[in-house]
Structure formats: C-alpha cells, structure tokens
C-alpha cells in the first residue's frame, strides 16, 4: 500500500513551498562601493547593490524582546524586533548588514518595510528553503494611513 508522501523528495517540497508560501516579492541589497565626491573631497556611500529580488517571505520570529546591555560587558548583537526571511535555496545567501525590503505582498502594511540581516543565511543538510534572521529597521508603517 502506498502513502501520499511516498516518493516525495526535498526538491518537490521546496517547489511546493516556493509556489504556495513564498508569494511575496522581497529584495536583498547591500551597500555599494564608496564614491568620491570631488566637491567635498570625501568618499560617500555609493548606491546600494541589489543581490536578489524575487519570491520570499518575512515572518515574525517570536515576540519582541527586551535586551539588557550592561555597560562595559560584551554582548551578542541581539535583536529586539525579531523576524526571519525565507527565500528559495537558489537565491543568493544574504550577508550580515545587508538590507531586506518587501517590494510586493498580499499585506499592504509589509510593503516598504526594511530589515537588517543579523547573520549569514542558514543552511542544513535537509534544507527546503533558506532562513535568514533579521532585525526590523522601520518601526512604523505609512501603509493604509489616511490623510
């Protein structure tokens, strides 16, 4: 007797997740090379470089937390606004300090929000999607506001 999951491969699960769950369009960008400004004699940040724009999703990773930092003590760069980015395995791996934004989503409140990548995207032997942990940059949304 066969079962519904017989013959189900990680590739098939990954394709199903991409098609049914990762329905938003997300963008991962990082700081561009500095550009010299001859008027000021200073290097200024160059335009951001988009390393990925495609299907993905940003999900809460628990409730906002409280992080206590003791003066003079080393601490892990913990986030008080924890989220995770889910992307297909073939998307480039995000690096620490990259920026993630939602370009298009079913929830209008998500569009335009930005997050800072806390660490390199995770990988595992049995991965079907890539998970990257984030800290929210934007703490308010103008979506849906009425003037």
What Cα–Cα distance (Å) separates residue 27 from each residue in 33, 44, 51, 86? Answer: 19, 23, 8, 12
How far is the C-alpha of 24 from the C-alpha of 84, rounded, in Å?
A: 14
Task: Please give the radius of gyration of the chain, using alpha carbons only, rounded to the nearest integer.
Answer: 19
User: Exposed, middle or buried: residue 61 (CB in 10 Å: 0-12, 13-18, 19+)?
Assistant: middle
- The model's pTM: 0.74
Q: Mind listing the pLDDT tens digit for each residue in 25-63?
A: 999 999 999 999 999 999 998 899 999 999 999 998 865
How far is the C-alpha of 118 from the C-alpha of 111, rounded, in Å?
A: 20
Which of 90, 70, 69 shows the shortest CA–CA distance to 80? 69
Phi/psi at 42 (5° precision): -120, 155
CATH 1.10.10.10 for domain 10-136, yes or no, is: no
How far is the C-alpha of 98 from the C-alpha of 49, rounded, in Å?
A: 10
Q: Mind listing the pLDDT tens digit for each residue in 84-99?
A: 999 998 999 999 989 9
């Amino acid at each position: 007797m066969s079962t519904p999951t017989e013959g189900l491969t990680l590739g098939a699960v990954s394709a199903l997740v991409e098609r049914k769950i990762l329905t938003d369009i997300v963008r991962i960008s990082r700081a561009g090379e500095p550009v010299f400004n001859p008027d000021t004699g200073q290097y200024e940040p160059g335009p951001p470089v988009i390393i990925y724009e495609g299907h993905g999703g940003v999900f809460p990773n628990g409730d906002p937390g409280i992080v206590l930092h003791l003066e003079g003590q080393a601490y892990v760069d913990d986030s008080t606004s924890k989220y995770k980015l889910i992307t297909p395995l073939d998307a480039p791996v995000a690096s620490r300090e990259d920026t993630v934004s939602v370009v298009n989503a079913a929830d209008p409140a998500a569009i335009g929000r930005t997050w800072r990548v806390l660490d390199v995207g995770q990988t595992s032997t049995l991965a079907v999607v890539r998970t990257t942990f984030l800290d929210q940059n934007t703490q308010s949304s103008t979506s849906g506001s009425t003037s």
